[in-house]
Amino acid sequence: MRLHNLKPRPGSKHRRKRLGQGESSGHGKTAGRGGKGQTARSGSSIRIGFEGGQMPLIRRIPKRGFNNTAFGTRYIAVNVSDLNVFDDGANVDETALRSVGLANGPGDGIKILGTGELSKKLNVTASAFSASAKTKIEAKGGKTEVVSRKAAAPAKA
């Protein structure tokens, strides 16, 4: 296979829709914009949820209850099988996991999950462990230590 042999997958490429090219094209006259009105005009755009001045549905329905998404704990998940990149007897913590690239992005801590097999003895420090991950690490002679992240300072009065 060479570069000149490459072709896009069948069905992935489409012809450009040529608007206003006569009635028989299927996109003539109104060019796919329907009849007259606000949406037929050039530069028209109506924001999402706008209902023509009527009170929008999102504002009509009652809003009750509590949603925990803003206050919940979001862990970065790391599987036990991924820990095999470390040397035997290594100390594995959040900085080590981030330096290897196993834990990326923002999170409230790291949780070790029990998917896969562990082949090395490791001392793992994390915010949380699943029960199966803890047994797999300790079965190889390693140690697990739960470390809580520092809580945010309360707002001053």
Query: Residue 69 pLDDT > 90, yes or no?
Result: no
pLDDT value at residue 157:
62
Find where tokens 């979001």 sit: 74
Selecting from 3.40.50.20, 3.100.10.10, 1.10.8.50, 3.40.50.300, what CATH number does the domain 76-146 have?
3.100.10.10
Average pLDDT over residues 12-35: 92
pLDDT value at residue 36:
92
Domain boundaries, the chain: 76-146
pLDDT digits (tens, 9 = 90+) for 118-148: 999 999 999 999 999 999 999 999 999 999 8
What the block records as the tokens of 17 is: 């829709």
Residue 12 CA to its chain's centroid (Å): 25
Q: Please state, as a whole number, how many other Cβ atoms lie within 10 Å of the Cβ of residue 28.
A: 14
Rounded to whole angstroms, the Cα distance separating 17 from 32 reads 10
pLDDT value at residue 102:
94
pLDDT value at residue 44:
86
Average pLDDT over residues 91-110: 94
